[in-house]
Amino acid sequence: MSFGTAPSVPAALQVYNSYVIDPEWQTKFSIIWGSCLGASLLFAAPRLIRSIRNGRAFTGLFGIKEDWQARGKYEAVVTKKNMARTTYSSSSRLVRTVEGIISAIRSIALWTLPGIGLNAGQMFVVLAYLIIVLICIIMDSQLMNNSNRAGFLALAQLPVVFLFATKNSIVSLLLGPGHGYEKLNYIHRWSGRCLFLGAVVHGSLWIRNHLQYNIQIIGAQKETSGVAALGVLCGIVLTSLRPVRKWFWDFFWIVHVLGFVAFFITICYHTIYAIPWIFPPLAFYTADMLMRMLRVRIKDATLTAVDPNMTLIRVQDCDTNWIAGQHVRLRVFFSGRVFESHPLTIMNAPSNVTCLASSSSAESGRGIILGARVTGDWTRALNNYADTEGKAAQAQNALWVAEKKKAISNDDYSSISDQSTLLPEVPVQVMLDGPYGGCSLDLGQYETVLLIAGGSGATFTIGVLDDIVGRCARLGRPNNERTRRIEFVWCLRSYGGISWFTSLLTPIANVVAECPDLDLHVSIYVTCLCNPEAVPAIPNSDVLMLAQRPDTSKILLDLTTAPRMKKGQCCCAGGSDGEDVKCTCGSACAGSDDDVNKTVKSSASSVDDFEIKEVPRDHLARDPEACPALADASAKLQWVGLGGGVAVCASGPGSLTREASNAVAKLSLLRGVELGGVGLHTEVFSVQ
């Protein structure tokens, strides 16, 4: 005898079982963000494959290496004398056209608003992530009666938070060069805030229900541990705000690390459902620690205090296994400050590529060179240590010279005196962790390159400049590099800052001067009339005094506009302080053309036959005789036509990189196809 199936309870009368339904939404959320990440990796696959072919992918995965066979020894390479534009096949032109279309589409994501710190593409990612989290929390839930869904979704975000927090992330490797932890850290920050949002919704509604039904909040283990976990998470979020990270970094770091340890302990006491979500973050963090152990190197180094604002660190016995633009986490063992590590950009290419190994360079070409701008207590202490120890060593050398004077002939006296005037380098030991990051663009794939930096941001642009010049001029374009024109722009507050990296820029410019199929022009803009006498001689360079930083969009426009034939030269007169400088261009200009041509290399092809009167001083140099150097960059560089692609690398303060990002977005949207694609890479030298 059969009585049939048991009757089913109507949906309206069913009790919501959050411990069955809400974990399903955790799974759905994980599938969604995992699918989006997989799609992003698939979209980046062509660039990764190209980087693998060029030998740029996975470089530095196991740390910096020493060249025991001395294969990085400098050997001059004779290049063909051909400044003509490369002739592309129909397939190459098609590829450049496609890249132009892609860059025009991507330009939408580059637009950046001031004060936000994110471009349009990053804001889209953050908003999409927030919408996914909110949908998973709200859809088909009963938050007012049971807020467990928000708590479950907060736990489900722990893998995302830690995946994008570690420095050695599998995502960074698969996205290719230039997508290091510092580029993905914004996802870590905003996913952490969304996690906090879920925790606040869960905790606040539970507290509301307890107050409504007069239930004790603190007392039972579940409630007490939950309140403790929410309090710890709140402390982590508040101490992670930008002002705290900028002014109290050590405090932020300690609270961050200890806070998450406390959060993991309290959340596991709060609910057994948290335990499975703890293991992925622990796995990511453990893998990161293991990779750091493989990358750590302890090396001998020397410190040089160039001036009170800059310290150069030369690390010895480092020859290869990094790419231009990467940085290391540096720990210097001095004055008891052994627990502090700071990120510093490598300013030179590997020894088998660098131009610093040439005969015109004072550098050895081996090792890595780092620059530490004095901005905080650690960099100030490092500079003071290098200066004090250097002067002490100099005094000892002077004493040694004085003793030797009595025992040598007069013929050797002058050479010993010259040696005593040099400030000795201070030997130290350092610990390197890295390299990380790097440039996302292969500059060799672009005919025209613009490198623009502000202040100490030049540490990045000098590194990529050394790399591309070495590949083109020293190695003879081994991967068919297309680069023909390079404009290097450096914005400084004082003339004295130019001396920071003169020893690096000068040999690079000298190598380019001997290479007929590569053209380099250096433009240095100084916004303060400080130490004008401290201007070193760098080949094919202009040093200009401006009231404010030059407009990146105007530099780009000039660099990508064909120069028109000029009918006369340009000369200036007048210009005392507070007055405008009057310039005249054309046949009315006094003086011979030969005199002007001696001043500026390749400046004879860009100035039209017209008059410029009452030119505002903020567009001209202080010295009227420097007016011929004010010709546009298109006149200083040999014109090779359009269609070969334009690469822009900007590094420095956020305002400069934002301006460069918007300029590239505008140019790419309007002329991306005509130019053959416009690539952009930015490095922000400030806390984000």
- Span 398-414, average pLDDT: 63
Instruction: Report which of residues 400 and 164 the model is more confident about.
Output: 164
| Peptide linkage before 435 cis (omega within 30 of 0) | yes
Token pair in block for residue 482: 């297309």
Tell me which of 345-354, 444-453, 558-567 is least confident: 558-567
633 with 559: CB under 8 angstroms? yes
Residue 476, CB half-sphere, CA atoms under 13 Å: how many?
Answer: 7
The overall average pLDDT reported for the chain is 81
- Span 568-573, average pLDDT: 42
Instruction: Report which of residues 10 and 213 the model is more confident about.
Output: 213
Token pair in block for residue 138: 């709200």
Q: What percent of the chain has pLDDT over 70?
A: 78
Confidence of residue 531 (pLDDT cuts 50, 70, 90): low
pLDDT at 300: 93
pLDDT at 612: 27
For the segment 484-523, what is each residue's pLDDT rounded down to a tens digit?
999 999 998 888 888 889 889 999 999 998 888 899 999 8
Confidence of residue 586 (pLDDT cuts 50, 70, 90): very low
Confidence of residue 674 (pLDDT cuts 50, 70, 90): confident
For the segment 271-309, what is each residue's pLDDT rounded down to a tens digit?
999 999 999 999 999 999 999 999 999 999 999 999 899
pLDDT at 137: 95
CA distance 355 to 506: 10
Assess whether pLDDT exceeds 50 at residue 569. Answer: no
CA distance 453 to 551: 12
Q: What radius of gyration do the chain's Cα atoms show?
A: 30
For the segment 175-200, what is each residue's pLDDT rounded down to a tens digit?
988 898 999 999 999 999 999 999 99
For 537, the 3-state DSSP assignment is coil
Pair type for strands 342-345 and 326-332: antiparallel
Q: What is the 3-state secondary structure (H, E, C) of 617-644?
A: HHHCCCCHHHHHHHCCHHHHCCCCCCCC
For 566, the 3-state DSSP assignment is coil
- Span 438-451, average pLDDT: 92
pLDDT at 629: 41
Residues 6+ apart with CB under 8 A from 51: 57, 176, 177, 442
Instruction: Report which of residues 369 and 359 the model is more confident about.
Output: 369
Tell me which of 225-239, 259-273, 409-423 is least confident: 409-423
Residue 402, CB half-sphere, CA atoms under 13 Å: how many?
Answer: 6
Instruction: Report which of residues 614 and 232 the model is more confident about.
Output: 232
Instruction: Spell out the alpha helix ranges (H) of 296-448.
Output: 377-404, 413-420
230 with 203: CB under 8 angstroms? yes
Confidence of residue 252 (pLDDT cuts 50, 70, 90): very high
Q: What percent of the chain has pLDDT over 90?
A: 45
Token pair in block for residue 428: 């130290």
Residues 6+ apart with CB under 8 A from 501: 347, 371, 458, 459, 462
Tell me which of 1-10, 84-93, 120-129 is least confident: 84-93
Instruction: Report which of residues 393 and 598 the model is more confident about.
Output: 393
Tell me which of 42-56, 172-186, 192-206, 522-536 is least confident: 522-536
CA distance 438 to 435: 8
Tell me which of 375-389, 444-458, 607-621, 640-654 is least confident: 607-621
Token pair in block for residue 656: 């400069």
Assess whether pLDDT exceeds 50 at residue 589. Answer: no
Assess whether pLDDT exceeds 70 at residue 70. Answer: no
Residues 6+ apart with CB under 8 A from 506: 360, 361, 536, 537, 538, 539
Assess whether pLDDT exceeds 60 at residue 139. Answer: yes
CA distance 651 to 371: 14
- Span 610-639, average pLDDT: 44
pTM: 0.84
pLDDT at 365: 66
- Span 418-447, average pLDDT: 83
Q: Which residues pair with 523 in a beta bridge?
A: 489, 542
Residue 540 CB neighbours (<10 A): 18
According to the per-residue pLDDT averaged within each range, which of 99-108, 429-438, 580-589 is highest?
A: 429-438
pLDDT at 100: 75
- Span 56-79, average pLDDT: 69
pLDDT at 403: 72
| Residue 1 burial (C-beta neighbours within 10 Å; 0-12, 13-18, 19+) | exposed
pLDDT at 532: 63
